[in-house]
A and B are shown apart, each in its own frame.
Chain A
Amino acid sequence: MSSRQSQGTILFTALLALIGIGVVVQLWLLATSVDALLRHEIRTPVHAAIGSAIVFVINGLLVLYVFNFDRKIKQR
């Protein structure tokens, strides 16, 4: 395995862990949102939805970055 490839593997694993953490945060936001909904609060679910959308965008960007990096390694 070349150093570039091993660097790619480490990067891929690290980003995988970051995306995993993002998904856990989203799950927490969803739980909070449902809890607030059951308490008849209107604002909290909206804020949670905005937060969740931001986390999703970050996750999407990380996935795109990691696939671009992967493609570059394969081309070489």
Chain B
Amino acid sequence: MPEEKDKTKDECFECKKKRESARWREDFPVDWESDNYVTRREMVKFLALGSLTIAGANAVVAGIPHVVKASEMPRTRITLASAIPVGGSKLFSYPTEEDPCILIRQHNGDLVAYSQVCTHLSCAVIHNQQENALFCPCHHGYFTVEEGRPYAGPPTRPLPRIRLEQQGNEIFAIGVEV
């Protein structure tokens, strides 16, 4: 008798398992074969949608610098104009404390400012007064003081220029030109 009882118990367990399995299939009626099957038509639609998404992402990336440039560039006081002698320079940070920049008074008296981060491998450039150039000591890259263009060494892109504004005797940084 106990053996029969066990057998019935086992059968019931199997029935229950089958019933649960069937319920599971009802909840998720996915046929394995048709799940893996993708037609050419579906693939073309998928690729066209992907193409649209990527074009949209590209437009967003292209728009980011214009939006950020217009809204987020702060106006930061650098120093007094009289504090920089002809041929002299001063280090400052702009637009954030983590962006080192350099302000230089040229021989004609004009002030220019550039990002201090070399466009080759991000070393800090320094003002070489004897050669009237911005010099990167890491790989001997040279940039002109007038325009920040590279003219010797490995850098190929110019230094980002900081836009300046003078109010009375005070110099302010108002933007970055790349």
Interface SS of chain B: helix
Q: In chain B, what residue has the closest Cβ to A22?
A: B51
A40 to B62, CA, bound (A): 11
Contact mask for chain A residues 4-31; partner B; CB cutoff 8 A; 1 contact, 0 none? 0000010011011001101100110110
Query: In the complex, are the beta carbons of A19 and B44 less than 8 A apart?
Result: yes
Q: In chain B, what residue has the closest Cβ to A46?
A: B62
A40-B160, A40-B178 are known contacts. Are A23 and B58 too (CB-CB below 8 A)? no
Please report the total number of B residues contacting A with Cβ < 8 Å: 26
Contacts of B138 in A (CB 8 A): none
CB A59 to nearest CB in B, in angstroms, measures 4
Q: Can you list 29 residue pairs at the A/B interface with Cβ under 8 Å?
A: A9-B40, A12-B44, A16-B43, A19-B47, A19-B48, A22-B51, A26-B54, A29-B58, A30-B57, A33-B58, A37-B65, A40-B176, A41-B178, A42-B65, A42-B69, A42-B178, A45-B64, A46-B62, A49-B55, A52-B55, A52-B58, A53-B58, A53-B59, A55-B51, A56-B55, A60-B48, A60-B52, A67-B44, A70-B41
* A contact set with B: CB distance below 8 Å: 9, 12-13, 15-16, 19-20, 22-23, 26-27, 29-30, 33-34, 37, 39-42, 45-46, 48-49, 52-53, 55-56, 59-60, 63, 66-67, 70
